[in-house]
Amino acid sequence: MNTFLGQVTDATAAHDTVRVAAGAHVAPHLSLPSYDLSAWLERLGCKLFWRDRPLIQYVAWCYELGLLDILSDGPISATDVISRTRLNEHGADALLGVLSALGIATRAPTGYSLSKEAREFFSPSSPFFIGGELYAPGERIPPPYLANSVFSRTWVRLIHLLPSMRCGRTDRLTNQHARNLPACIAAARSGAFSGLKCLVDVAGGSGAFAIPLALDYPTTRIVLADLPTSVKNVKQLLAKHGLAARIELFGMNAFEYPWKIPACDGVFLGNFLHGFDDDTCISVCRESFERLDPGGKIFIHEMVWNANRDGPLITALWNASMRAGGGKQRTTEEFGEMLRRVGFTSSYSVATAGAFALTVATKPR
């Protein structure tokens, strides 16, 4: 009988530290930043992405929806929040997550409440209540957050037609590269990739992971797979590191099965699964399982929630964006369960950097 080992290091510290495994290869071409990018982003209340909003916007929405009033009577479950507001599951998860990460709300097994410190200023019954003074730029609550709104994949497709969301654009690739590179360098140096013969970086985007892996593991064959419209613009990023001929580019749609990728003993899914619902993620993990050689490994690198799903703030903000488009952020435990369902064993996770964690699992021989 296959066993599934829940060996998970503390991923809640992912946004505070960069862990570099002893004995891992270190290339001179790329150095790890001395300070964690997410710490700056949390101070600024942004994600370095096109849908960044000021933090006050989220709190103003909570006031508009009556959520602060409801939480002052807490603890209350997310289900009750949905029944007492205009929010649906997506909206409740998004806003409760941001409030919790800000320390305005707390999350316990019994439900959500205003924190002790927040009650003085965010409870409508308090003489010091400032909710009505929280003026935001006036952006509307995202329709996918609201009950009885038309939320479908058609809406998501329309969003992705916006110029800033088109996959493969040089400016978007540059943005992705800048914000993902520090965590990807830390992941490549985690020691988890030692001994691989061939790794396929599915939806590899700008090469933020393939580049440090190629520099650190010169004998590993690396295939960066992404949409044909994307890979043509990746070449210039690879060339900057002298890797245009070292990293193979492969055009494919990750949702068209079966994948026509080369035989491999490693599949990397970096900052990808958060954009999709659980069923879609499980399908991608299952296809990875089918394409891997026996004994091969899958690697999921994502910005993760802590175990209580109340932080870090940068993950809560990403989750709020993903909830407006059909995806969500997850815990390492949730990724481990997905992998177990499709047949992987011996799962473990390790914190990398910037609230990211690397989850690794093995296909039985």
- Residue extent(s) of CATH 3.40.50.150 domains in the chain: 7-41+167-362
Which pLDDT band holds residue 10 (cuts at 50, 70, 90)?
Answer: very low
> CA 224, CA 22: separation in Å to the nearest integer?
27
In the numeric block, which tokens belong to residue 309? 């799903």
Supply 344's token pair: 């992987």
pLDDT, one tens digit per residue, over 192-240 is 999 999 999 999 999 999 999 999 999 999 999 999 988 888 988 899 8
pLDDT of residue 292: 98
CATH hierarchy code of domain 54-138: 1.10.10.10
Q: Where in the chain is the domain with CATH 1.10.10.10?
A: 54-138
35 has a pLDDT exceeding 60: yes
Question: How confident is residue 167, by pLDDT bands cut at 50, 70 and 90?
Answer: low
Residue 243: half-sphere exposure toward Cβ, Cα within 13 Å:
27
Which of 71-75, 145-149, 217-221 bottoms out in mean pLDDT, i.e. has the lowest? 145-149
Give pLDDT, residue 168. Answer: 61
* pLDDT recorded at residue 1: 33
User: What residues contact 223, with CB distance under 8 A and at least 6 apart?
Assistant: 198, 199, 200, 201, 247, 248, 249, 250, 261, 262, 264
pLDDT band at 270 (very low <50, low <70, confident <90, very high): very high
Residue 96 has pLDDT above 50, yes or no: yes
CA distance 217 to 26: 9
CB contact at 8 A, 16 and 353? no
Q: What is the predicted pLDDT for the residue at 19? A: 37
Residues 213/194, Cβ–Cβ less than 8 Å? no
Distance separating alpha carbons of residues 220 and 222, to the nearest angstrom: 6
Question: In this structure, which amino acid lies at residue 313?
Answer: L
Measured distance CA(306)–CA(330) in Å, rounded = 9
Residue 165 has pLDDT above 80, yes or no: no
Share of residues in the chain with pLDDT > 90 (%): 68
- Say what the alpha-carbon torsion angle 332, 278, 272, 228 is, to the nearest 10 degrees: 160
Neighbouring CB atoms inside 10 A of 293's CB total: 14
Instruction: Note whether 98 and 68 are within 8 A (CB).
Output: no
CB of 212 closer than 8 Å to CB of 27: yes
- In this predicted structure, the answer to whether residue 20 has a pLDDT above a threshold of 60 is no
104-118, 144-158, 304-318, range with the lowest pLDDT: 144-158
Peptide bond connecting 143 to the previous residue in cis, omega within 30 degrees of 0? no
Q: How many residues does the chain have?
A: 365
**Which pLDDT does position 26 carry in this prediction?**
40
pLDDT band at 166 (very low <50, low <70, confident <90, very high): low
* Tens digits of residue pLDDT in 278-298: 999 999 999 999 999 999 999
Distance CA(338)–CA(329), nearest Å, equals: 14
Determine the 3-state secondary structure of 346 from DSSP. Answer: strand
pLDDT of residue 279: 97
Contact 321, 328 (CB under 8 A): no
Whether domain 7-41+167-362 has CATH 3.40.50.880: the reply is: no
Average confidence (pLDDT) over 147-151? 74
pLDDT (0 to 100) of residue 32:
86
Residue 53 has pLDDT above 80, yes or no: yes
- Report the DSSP beta bridge partners of residue 351: 357
Q: Is 114 helix (H, G, I), strand (E, B) or coil?
A: strand
Mean pLDDT over the full length of the chain: 87
Reported as a single tens digit per residue, the pLDDT across 154-164 is: 555 554 444 44
